[in-house]
């Protein structure tokens, strides 16, 4: 049987297949009762060891940290702790479901952190429904800073997610990296895919016309990172559910609307209309909107420039089926699905970037670190036989060097920018990252082999 990437299938069939992981998940989540647990890092050979790991011996490292707070990285696991903070107000595909219902997602994120990046991440779903506001989440992050080496903000509604990230990154009291994966993680992977797509079709980032369909957290983060990497945003047009963004659009209420940031620097001809009007002559479409199909029309794609690049990222169904986009004239099509070519998955970026930031004890994750990691990810396609073609613009998570190379790139950039407390060479960073990630894989394999993680085989067929 042909894979979904090689055949046209109906919307109903795609929806049926997209439900299978959820049916499996319900059984397996109940069986395992969660995805993460806390395990010791130290050896325990006898009960006498507790006099070292706890009282009275533990008082000695406590006193050393009291004299020099940086010693907390030497005597505790802070160096590898990341908090995954969410209020459950904008869970992907589910909306405002609250902190309790968001916890399976945050545990899943912690699992990806640990397996892919060797990071000890803790899910922290906070607040109650319709709470918390931006200032409360900012204060919460500041209060937990002593325990964690980094913060991953997750599934927080806009516009408060923008306010939280920007204020925390600019706050001089915050000494650890703060990252919003819905913005920065997606942006890193899109940038990587776009770098390779432009090389394949022979176009330049400073001359292309990009249409951004949707202006939520994902596309807002993508726009910011592309701008930082030298893309000419003046040539871009942004579209929301009402239509094209332009300066005199009455419902924007500038300058109080976060969308006004892009209005000031885009759509230089100040056109109005819908996404179809925006796509006339466009080189690239980046759509992060609502599930399709037929959100993006074939005749819209047909109006794009030759060798058009189409990123339609809605899940579970992209805004237009890839075969329809190709038939309408698109050369490269990327989606959020793993069963189509060119999957854009933010899990390709965040474990490696955090690994690099933690390994050099970076005080923040800069745009330049993200860009370095993105270019590192893009370069990996040259190492994969048969890749760097229209249907292979990105490596997959299975390629072993994906996270190691990004960690090294991000760590070296942090050192270059003088925001790293540990100065390691490229080889030292590579060796350290590989040892940590390989160790994480070995732990899982050992636990499964010895039955400490029991086997579950009752999958839904």
Using alpha carbons, list the distances in angstroms from residue 188 to 222, 241, 268, 314.
8, 25, 26, 17
The dihedral region occupied by 45, where left means phi > 0, alpha psi between -120 and 50, and beta the remainder, is alpha
Q: 316 and 15 in contact (C-beta within 8 Å)?
A: yes
Mean pLDDT of 22-35: 90
- 241, 244, 249, 251 alpha-carbon torsion, rounded to 10°: 10
Cis bond leading into 293, ω under 30°?
Answer: yes
pLDDT of 183-233, one tens digit each?
Answer: 999 999 999 999 999 999 999 999 999 999 999 999 999 999 999 999 999
**Tokens (6 digits) for 251:** 């419902």
The class of domain 183-461 in CATH terms is alpha beta
Indicate if 183-461 has the same CATH topology as 65-176.
Answer: yes
**E strand or H helix at 404, and its extent?**
helix 402-416
Q: What is the pLDDT of residue 128?
A: 73
pLDDT of 367-410, one tens digit each?
Answer: 999 999 999 999 999 999 889 999 999 999 988 799 999 999 99
Q: Indicate if 209 belongs to the active site.
A: no
Please give the model's pTM, rounded to 2 decimal places.
Answer: 0.93
pLDDT of 276-296, one tens digit each?
Answer: 999 999 999 999 999 889 999
Q: 140 and 86 in contact (C-beta within 8 Å)?
A: no
Cα–Cα distance, 378 to 375 (Å, whole number): 5
Mean pLDDT of 416-421: 97
Mean pLDDT of 328-352: 95
Would strands 120-125 and 330-335 be described as parallel, antiparallel, or unpaired? unpaired
Q: Which residues of 340-360 are buried (b: 16+ CB within 10 A; e: fewer)?
A: bbbbbbbbbbbbbbbbbbbbb
List the catalytic residue out of 19, 32, 54, 459.
Answer: 54
Q: 347 and 226 in contact (C-beta within 8 Å)?
A: no
278 Cβ partners below 8 Å, 6+ apart? 211, 213, 237, 239, 244, 271
Pick the CATH number of 65-176 from 3.40.50.10380, 3.30.1180.10, 3.30.70.360, 3.90.180.10: 3.40.50.10380
**Tokens (6 digits) for 395:** 């490596």
How do the domains of the chain map onto residue ranges? Answer: 65-176, 183-461
Q: Which residues of 18-49 are buried (b: 16+ CB within 10 A; e: fewer)?
A: eeeeeeeeeeeeeeeeebbeeeeeeeeeeeee
Cα–Cα distance, 107 to 33 (Å, whole number): 11
Token pair 């992050």 is found at 141
List the catalytic residue out of 78, 109, 114, 209.
Answer: 109
Scanning 145-255, the segments in alpha helix (DSSP H) are 160-170, 186-201, 217-228
Q: Indicate if 109 belongs to the active site.
A: yes
- Is the pLDDT score of 83 beyond 90? yes
Average pLDDT, the chain: 93
């Amino acid at each position: 049987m042909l894979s979904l990437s090689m055949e046209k299938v109906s919307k109903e069939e795609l929806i049926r297949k997209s439900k299978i992981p959820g049916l499996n998940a319900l059984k397996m989540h109940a069986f395992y009762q969660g995805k993460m647990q806390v395990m010791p890092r130290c050896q325990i050979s006898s009960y006498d060891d507790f006099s070292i790991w706890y009282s009275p011996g533990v008082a000695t490292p406590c006193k050393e940290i009291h004299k020099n707070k940086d010693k907390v990285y030497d005597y505790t696991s802070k160096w590898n702790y990341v908090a995954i903070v969410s209020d459950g107000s904008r869970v992907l595909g589910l909306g405002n479901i609250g902190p309790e219902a968001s916890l399976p997602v945050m545990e899943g994120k912690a699992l990806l952190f640990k397996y892919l990046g060797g990071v000890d991440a803790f899910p922290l779903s906070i607040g109650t429904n319709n709470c918390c506001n931006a200032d409360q989440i900012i204060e919460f992050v500041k209060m937990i800073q002593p325990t964690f080496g980094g913060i991953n903000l997750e599934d927080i509604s806009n516009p408060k997610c923008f306010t939280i990230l920007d204020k925390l990154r600019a706050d001089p009291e915050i000494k650890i990296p703060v990252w919003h994966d819905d913005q920065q993680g997606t942006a890193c992977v899109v940038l990587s895919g776009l770098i390779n797509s432009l090389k394949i079709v022979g176009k330049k980032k400073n001359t292309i016309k990009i249409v951004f369909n949707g202006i939520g957290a994902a596309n807002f983060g993508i726009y910011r990172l592309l701008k930082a990497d030298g893309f000419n945003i003046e040539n871009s047009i942004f579209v929301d559910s009402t239509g094209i963004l332009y300066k005199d659009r009455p419902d924007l209420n500038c300058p109080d609307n976060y969308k006004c940031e892009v209005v000031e620097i885009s759509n230089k001809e100040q056109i109005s209309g819908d996404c179809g009007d925006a796509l006339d002559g466009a080189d690239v479409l980046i759509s992060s909107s609502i599930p399709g199909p037929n959100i993006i029309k074939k005749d819209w794609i047909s109006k794009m420039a030759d060798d058009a690049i189409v990123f339609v990222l809605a899940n579970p169904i992209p805004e237009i089926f890839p075969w329809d986009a190709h038939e309408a004239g698109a050369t490269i099509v990327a989606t959020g699905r793993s069963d189509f070519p060119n999957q854009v998955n933010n899990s390709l970026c965040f474990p490696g970037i955090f690994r690099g930031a933690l390994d050099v004890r970076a005080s923040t994750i800069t745009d330049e670190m993200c860009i370095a990691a993105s270019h590192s990810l893009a370069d990996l396609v040259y190492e994969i036989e048969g890749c760097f073609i229209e249907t292979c613009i990105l490596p997959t998570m299975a390629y072993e060097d994906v996270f190691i190379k990004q960690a090294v790139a991000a760590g070296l950039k942090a050192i270059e920018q003088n925001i790293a407390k540990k100065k390691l060479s490229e080889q030292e960073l590579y060796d350290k990252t590989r040892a940590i990630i390989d160790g994480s894989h070995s732990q899982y394999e050992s636990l499964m082999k010895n039955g400490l993680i029991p086997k579950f085989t009752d999958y839904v067929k």
